[in-house]
Amino acid sequence: MRVVFVGPPGAGKGTQAENIVAEYKLFHLSTGDALRAAVAAKSPIGIEAEKYMSSGALVPDEVVVGVVVERLDEAKDGCLLDGFPRTIAQAEALDKVLAEKNAPLDVVLELAVPEDELFKRLASRGRADDQPEVIKRRLVAYREQTEPLVGYYTKAGILRKIDGLGTVEEIYGRIKAVLDEYK
């Protein structure tokens, strides 16, 4: 099973992703985590990525696509891509790589949460990029660059929307009901 997880910053993707990969035994690839690790390691990619991440902008497509492609081979028995793709160009690059492997995506989960709730959640989280001005820019980046993926994957017939309001358990129940159709 190959799954993409999309949703705005603060929607709770990270929390739900932990549950999903444990239960469905999927390889978890979070580009946010991978980039933060590169930043911490001060690798060339990390040094480049940090400039964008600290301001709330997206890291350039070619940098992120490189990070993902080199790790996709670890995903023999299925994967959960979390935070990738985040632009149409990234989605097209992913489709191309997966087509070459004869391993297309099965389903894209959109975790939907209203913006006022996102702001509240992010402001209370306290990560380095959770400052109010940076949060605002991340939400704008989501709306302008990532939300078009909803149309892209709807057209492909693989988008499933999940209501992201409720307790962690309630939301996970909704995700499970969808993923069990693809097992």
Per rule CB under 6 A, count of chain residues that contact ligand ADP? 17
Q: Is 64 in the site for ligand ADP (CB under 6 A)?
A: yes
Residue 101, number of CB atoms within 10 A of its CB: 11
Q: DSSP label at 72?
A: G
Interaction of residue 21 with ligand ADP, rule CB under 6 A: no
164 binds ligand ADP (CB under 6 A): no
Q: Which is nearer to ligand ADP, 84 or 153 (CB)?
A: 84
User: Residue from 18, 19, 46, 52 that binds ligand ADP (CB under 6 A)?
Assistant: 52
Count CB neighbours of 41 within 10 A. Answer: 11
Query: Interface with ligand ADP includes 91 (CB under 6 A)?
Result: no
Between CA 176 and CA 124 the distance in angstroms is: 27
Give the nearer residue to ligand ADP in terms of CB position, either 83 or 164: 83
Largest CA distance in the chain: 43
| Rounded Cα–Cα distance for residues 106 and 137 (Å) | 31
Contact region with ligand ADP (CB under 6 A), list: 15-23, 28-36, 97-105, 167-175: 28-36
Q: Does 152 bind ligand ADP (CB under 6 A)?
A: no
How far apart CA 87 and CA 35 sit, in angstroms, is: 16
